[in-house]
Amino acid sequence: MKRFKLSESGARGWFIGDFPEAVHRTREFEVNFQTNPPGKHGAHVHRIVTEIQLVTRGQMIMNGEVFDVGDIVILEPGEAGAAEFSEDCDTITVKFPSLPTDKYLV
């Protein structure tokens, strides 16, 4: 058995993926747990990666649509995503494949 702390496993909560700090390094997919602070997060797009987010606490507005606890948003390659949070919001994000450089601000 191995034991890790999320705070020590990678940048901003990315703990599985093709990152040197990942607790499990793979090119197949990435997994993140993150508390998103209130505010708007700039729009971005992936050219290759599919991004799936699950809201586990709080509320997220993605591209003008409200997502509450238990809601899932899927952004396919080429779809831009712009998130906004009115309060702290926890999300679990899975992206596949793991291509950390496949993120473009729009």
- 13-68, pLDDT tens digit by residue? 999 999 999 999 999 999 999 999 999 988 999 999 999 999 999 999 999 999 99
Neighbours of 103 (CB within 10 A): 13
9/60: higher pLDDT:
60
- Nearest CA to 13 out of 45, 37, 46 is that of 37
Domain range list for the chain: 11-105
- 92, 31 Cβ separation under 8 angstroms: yes
CATH superfamily, with its number, for domain 11-105: Jelly Rolls (2.60.120.10)
* Model confidence pLDDT, tens digit, residues 77-98: 999 999 999 999 999 999 999 9
